[in-house]
Structure 1
Amino acid sequence: MQVTETLKDGLKRGYEITLTAAELDAKVMEKLTEAQPGIEMKGFRKGKVPMALLKKQFGERVMGEAMQESIDGAMSDHFKETGDRPALQPDVKMTNENWKQGDDVVVSLNYEALPEIPDADLSGLKLEKLVVKADEASVDEALANLAATAQDFDDKAEGEAAADGDQVVMDFVGKIDGEAFEGGAAEDYPLVLGSNSFIPGFEEQLVGAKAGSEVEATVSFPADYQAEHLAGKEAVFTCTIKAVKAPKAAEINDELAKKFGAEDLAGLKTQISERLEAEYGGASRAIMKRDLLDKLDDLISFELPPTLVDAEAKQIAHQLWHDEHKDVEGHDHPEIEATEEHVKLGERRVRLGLFLADLGQKNNIEVTDAEMTQAVMAQARQYPGQERQFFEFIQQNQQMQQQLRAPIFEDKVVDYVFELSTVTDKEVTKDELQKAVEALDEE
């Protein structure tokens, strides 16, 4: 096997690999010899088929396998010897397209190598961590929001009409062509007007109803209604209004706390305080991470693989285009050209990505099985009832596994750099933290 360098320009590499006819024939004979003991043919005992006959019968089929294995082996040896790591999948082509048995096999190998990542002194990094305490006003505000979600209803004054958002308690019977239908009746049914929990058009007809009155609501079942015998049909519901109630926020007391799993109001406040500070901490970390990446971007410099930068810039341009055209869900649109700004951002992402990946590898930072399981479980919650299928999908999809693993790995490396840096706490208000978060989105 002969490997000849044909290109060395920056990170671009080109090689010509020559597999002689003799080497290929020897590989074919090696594979046939391995297979011979298990081969049976008419007129010969198992394992006793002459090699010449085996070569005639199976040689052409084995030739392709031998050729592929030889080229793959040569490439593997080449990368071990040179230490090169391709930035993307290498371009491998057979150059003598009119090849016939007995000819040498000549293959071109072209790729862009990943650069050598220089070490950087991270001990001099200085970062600021914004700290927000969950004050009493923030806890009270969160409590009020919880109370609103746990709203109750009180009877309205006698004779007062139902408005949107009110609750009506009623008995109703639905009929189609004068005949009651199964599932079309209920007693003491509480319905919040505007909740859209009934057939379209039903709730609007109850606005203005009063306790003790009777209302007839005429509606049409949707054409795609799940009960086929009702789909598309008009129905008349006779509703006897028994009570009209106005919404009111739940009282902030121990009973409310128990609804949300706390023992008492003090316990609920503690939970809210912890949750708020966790949210503030997450926002603060995102701000500090951006500051760190900005400082690293100024600190490190090395040659970047053009194909990686180009691919990243195109991905950025494509994503930003979709952000501006949210009505376009698919990819049936004109090709999106990357601008100079996209290329600059692509260079930053590639540079930082390569640096963090190298730093993590050098310091044996890995994503554990437990961390991956936790990430998969978090994703699976988005598909209630289909968690098992999601787990199986992830297990069989290496690309999806990598998509889940990459951000976990990056965050672990970032945490490692945080530990090496000098971090100073700075107490700020919730509003100041919010402004800092909004500034991230504007950059």
Structure 2
Amino acid sequence: MQVTETVTDGLRREFRVVIPASELDSKVSERLDELKDRVRLNGFRPGKVPAAHLRRMYGRSAMAEAIEAAMRDVNAKIVADNNFRLAMQPKVTLPEDEKSVEAVIEGKTDLAYTVAMEILAPIEIVDFKSIELNKLTADATDQEVEEGLGRIAQQNLPFADKGEGARADKNDRVTVSFVGTIDGVPFEGGSADDVAVLIGSNTFIPGFEEQLIGIAAGENRQINVTFPENYPAAHLAGKAAVFDATAKSIEAPGEVTIDDDFAKSLGLDSLDKLKGAVRERIQREHDSMSKQRVKRALFDALDERHKFELPPALVEQEFENLWSTVTSEMQDRGRTFADENTTEEKEREEYQRIADRRVRLGLLLDEIARNNDITITEDEVRRAIMEHVRQYPGREKELLEMFRTNPEAIASIRAPLIENKVTDFILALAKVNDQKVSREELYRTEDDEKAA
């Protein structure tokens, strides 16, 4: 066997490999020797099939197996001998000429191929104690608790029929049936019966609720709306639609007194218990946002402090995935870069930067996990899968089967688990200063901060 390095270019390596025909023939003979005691051929007793006959019957398939095994072993040896850590699977290029391939399979000539590898650059990890971060935190306030109680009361308002001839007003609940069309054609998800619409709740398409004001039970109206540009169903985003709606009933809201009896109607012992539960929920939301923000700040610091060469193919793959998503969404919405006040060139630059950052941080977090024996157990993965599945009632069996048969689905669960573990590990070593802020400042977005 001969292995010759032919290309050394940054993180790219390429080797020319020659495996003698005699070596492949030995592997074929070993394989056929294994088969002779297992195959059953008419006219021969078990284990007594002549080697020449076995070779005629199974020689080509045995050679194919021998070639595959030989290439796998050689490629692994190249990686081990050079102490490589691969960014991606090796890319093997076999002879394209059909006669040459046939000659190898028939054992008449040596197997010659090239293997290209993209390796990972060494990563020099900084001392995490040198990283200093501000962790923004906020306490749930009495005002937020009162607002939360108000929302719960609003969600539990009693409603009573307004009576014959009554017309809908803001805050009334109208039960309607409707059929939606775009350019006169009904669309999927655009029709429903006996849907309760709370006027003023802003839970329907903008403009839908307002056009129900003044409607009476039994009355039919055409409601004209335009789906928002960022509507989740891309095929409807930005489209004008007409809903032929008929009101079934008009109900007015009653009043709720927020007291111990109200708390008991919700399954809690007292108003104080209800207030405590609301405060805990709000505090969990604040703590989650606090963790997100300090994690983002940590990733910014890691990205800034670790500059190492990135495997081009890995970055290109990440960019293509991102860019494919962006362009597909724009196409589905019928939008152009000009509509978004930008250009394709600018967006490509931005998503190239995002791809670089994602690959850099992904490799860095993997290296930190490897160096510090940070792992995810199968029990942790199983618990995370069950938590995910519980979010989709009625689809549990379908999702569990997907995770059972799809390694990529498992990887999508495992990746954030290891990321969170590594993040917690680093934050425990870094200097993190808690900084009390208002709710508004805690939830301020990056765009808001730039505009401030």
CA–CA separation in structure 1 for the residues paired with 2:450 and 2:435: 21
Superposed, 1:93-132 pairs within 5 Å as 93-95=93-95, 97=97, 98-99=99-100, 100=103, 101=106, 102-132=108-138
Rounded to whole Å, the distance in 2 between the matches of 1:109 and 1:351 is 25
Aligned to 2:153: 147
Tell me, yes or no, if structure 1 residue 397 matches structure 2 residue 412. Answer: no
Deviation for aligned residue 1:60 = 1.5
Q: Distance in 2 between matches of 1:435 and 1:193?
A: 30
1:359 aligns with 2:365: no
Shift of 1:11: 0.4
Q: What CA distance in whole angstroms lies between the structure 2 residues aligned with 1:205 and 1:141?
A: 27
- Corresponding position of 1:9: 9
Deviation at 1:271, TM superposition (A): 1.1
Whole-angstrom CA distance in 1 between matches of 2:94 and 2:450: 48
1:281 & 1:216 partners in 2: Cα distance?
Answer: 48
- String of CA shifts for 1:48-67, please: whole Å, max 9, x gaps: 11112111221122111111
Deviations 1:118-152 (A, max 9, x none): 12211111111111111100000011011101111
C-alpha contact 2:85 2:119 (8 A) present in aligned 1: yes
Secondary structure of 1:115 counterpart? coil
Change (3 A) 1:315 1:40: closer
Displacement after TM superposition at 1:108 (Å):
0.7
Residue 87 of structure 1: how far off its partner (Å): 1.5
In the alignment, which of 367, 370, 386 is matched to residue 377 of structure 1?
386
Residue of structure 2 in register with 1:61 after alignment: 61
| 2:307 corresponds to 1:301 | yes
Change over 3 Å in CA distance of 1:167–1:323 after alignment to 2: closer
Find the partner of 2:168 among 153, 163, 166.
163
Candidates 345, 363, 368, aligned match of 2:377: 368
Which of 407, 412, 418 aligns to 1:409? It is 418
| Corresponding letter in the other structure for 1:122 | F
Q: Which residue of 1 aligns with 2:355?
A: 346
* Contact in 1 for aligned 2:168/2:174 (Cα 8 Å): no
Q: Matches of 2:353 and 2:164 in 1, distance apart? A: 68
Partner of 1:223: none
Shift in alpha-carbon separation, 1:398–1:328, aligned structure 2, 3 A: farther
| Residue 78 (structure 1) shift | 1.8
Q: CA deviation at 1:75?
A: 1.1
Q: CA deviation at 1:294?
A: 1.2
Q: 1:419 to 1:328 in 2, by over 3 A?
A: farther
| Secondary structure of 2:128's aligned partner | coil
Q: Distance in 2 between matches of 1:11 and 1:190?
A: 60
User: Which residue is 2:144 aligned to?
Assistant: 138
Q: Aligned equivalents of 1:19 and 1:271: distance in 2? A: 71
Counterpart of 2:322 in structure 1 is 316
Structure 1 CA distance for aligned equivalents of residues 155 and 287 of structure 2: 25
Partner amino acid for 1:261?
G
One-letter code of the match for 1:54? Answer: L
Query: Secondary structure at 1:353's aligned position in 2?
Result: helix
Distance 2:373 2:275 in 1: 41
Amino acid at match of 1:152: P
- 1:431 maps to 2:440: yes
Quote the Cα distance in structure 1 between the aligned partners of 2:397 and 2:161. 46
In structure 2, how many angstroms separate the alpha carbons of the residues matched to 1:205 and 1:291? 47
| SS of corresponding position for 2:418 | helix
Structure 1 residues 319-328 or 116-125, which shifts more?
319-328
- Which residue of the partner structure matches residue 212 of structure 1? none
Q: Tell me if structure 2 keeps the 8 A contact 1:87–1:114.
A: yes
Structure 1 Cα separation of the partners of residues 84 and 255 of structure 2: 66
Q: Quote the Cα distance in structure 1 between the aligned partners of 2:45 and 2:450.
A: 75
Matched, 1:262 2:281: no
What is the CA–CA distance in structure 2 between the aligned matches of 1:441 and 1:37, rounded to whole Å? Answer: 75
Amino acid paired to 1:5: E
TM-aligned CA deviation for residue 88 of structure 1:
2.0
For the Cα contact (< 8 Å) 1:122–1:417, is it kept in 2?
A: yes
Q: Are the counterparts in 1 of residues 168 and 213 from structure 2 also a CA contact under 8 Å?
A: no
What secondary structure does 1:130 align onto? Answer: strand
Instruction: Give the conservation status (yes or no) of the 8 Å contact 1:193–1:207.
Output: no
* SS of 1:123 mapped into structure 2: helix
Using the size of structure 1 for normalisation, the TM-score is: 0.78
1:372 deviation in Å?
Answer: 1.8
Q: Secondary structure at the match of 1:341?
A: helix
Moved more, 27-36 or 115-124: 115-124
Among all aligned residue pairs of Structure 1 and Structure 2, give the percentage whose two residues are the same amino acid: 34
Gaps of 5+ in 1: 170-188, 197-203, 210-214, 219-236, 330-335
Q: 1:96 touches 1:106 (CA, 8 Å); kept in 2? A: no
Shift in Å, 1:328 = 5.9
Would the aligned equivalents of 1:287 and 1:436 in 2 still touch at CA under 8 Å? Answer: no
Taking a change above 3 Å as real, the CA distance of residues 4 and 326 of structure 1, as seen in their structure-2 partners, is same
Question: CA offsets per residue over residues 280-306 of structure 1, 9 Å max, x none?
Answer: 111111111111111111211211111
- Residue-pair matches, total: 387
Secondary structure, aligned partner of 1:38: coil
Contact kept? 1:322, 1:328, Cα under 8 Å: no
| C-alpha displacement of 1:409 | 1.1
Unpaired stretches in structure 2, ≥5 consecutive residues: 176-193, 204-211, 222-245, 336-343
1:34 matched to 2:34? The reply is yes
In 2, Cα distance between equivalents of 1:49 and 1:441: 80
Q: Does the 8 Å contact 2:167/2:213 carry over to 1?
A: no
Answer with 1 or 2: which has the greater Rg.
Answer: 1
Q: C-alpha distance in 1, partners of 2:372/2:71?
A: 34
- Displacement of 1:325 after TM fit? 5.7
Deviates more, 1:302-311 or 1:373-382: 373-382
- How far apart, in 1, do the equivalents of 2:174 and 2:27 lie? 84
For 1:359 and 1:343, locate their aligned partners in 2 and report how far apart those are by CA, in whole Å: 24
The letter of the residue matching 1:341 is E
Q: 1:428 to 1:436 in 2, by over 3 A?
A: farther
